[in-house]
Chain A
Amino acid sequence: GDSVTQMEGPVTLSEEAFLTINCTYTATGYPSLFWYVQYPGEGLQLLLKATKADDKGSNKGFEATYRKETTSFHLEKGSVQVSDSAVYFCALGGGSEKLVFGKGTKLTVNP
């Protein structure tokens, strides 16, 4: 079945550092890919999405490119802020009417 694998956390960075969170997927067909973010004590929010190969999703300085050849959707940000501290979830929508989530990666950004 469909699955998503994220790099294990936690990830701790200093403010203004570069962020990469790796995500790879296994799916039949051509899924849509998503990054959701969960701030402390809150529900998940959609951060960005990509619906086909080579699409780049972007929002709030975060980017991820749908790479079909490597089945990846890595999340990047050039300069993180303390307010980016959260848990980040990679997810896949493959046509089964349900999102398949990765296990989440906790990011802590220190001032």
Chain B
Amino acid sequence: DTAVSQTPKYLVTQMGNDKSIKCEQNLGHDTMYWYKQDSKKFLKIMFSYNNKELIINETVPNRFSPKSPDKAHLNLHINSLELGDSAVYFCASSQAGATYEQYFGPGTRLTVT
């Protein structure tokens, strides 16, 4: 009965590859987010979707493309991976009227070699 789940938990890949991270929430929330946490624990929002519509699109390389097939899922696809993409990626969700009370997934640690 995990509220926000992500797969995979760990992802090790080589530069230039394309990879995807999946996120699902069973809380019935309308809004989902992707965050990137660097090695110093700094957390930066990348994208948010509300009911499958893109709401926030921060300044990230266009190699990163989010996709929301339905409001319970938000996937992150990354093309042409670079060393600097190594980080922990967190998915989160929130319900309408409580945008800032976010529920986070366990994170996906991406290592690009």
Distance A41 CA – B36 CA, assembled complex (angstroms): 15
Q: Which residues of chain B (40-71) have a CB below 8 Å from chain A?
A: 40-43, 45, 48, 55-56
Given A101-B43, A103-B40, also A93-B99 (CB < 8 A): yes
Chain A residues whose C-beta falls within 8 Å of the C-beta of B100 in the assembled complex: 32, 34, 49, 91, 93, 99
Q: Determine if A42 is an interface residue (Cβ-Cβ < 8 Å).
A: yes
Q: How many B residues are at the interface, by size bracket?
A: 20 to 34
Chain A residues whose C-beta falls within 8 Å of the C-beta of B79 in the assembled complex: none
Asked if A45 and B104 sit within 8 Å, CB to CB, the answer is: yes
Q: Which residues of chain A (28-69) have a CB below 8 Å from chain B?
A: 32, 34, 38, 41-46, 49
Chain B residues whose C-beta falls within 8 Å of the C-beta of A91 in the assembled complex: 100
Q: Determine if B102 is an interface residue (Cβ-Cβ < 8 Å).
A: yes
Closest to A42 in B: B106
Q: List 12 A-B contacts (CB under 8 A).
A: A32-B100, A34-B100, A43-B104, A43-B107, A44-B92, A46-B101, A89-B43, A93-B99, A97-B48, A98-B48, A103-B42, A104-B42
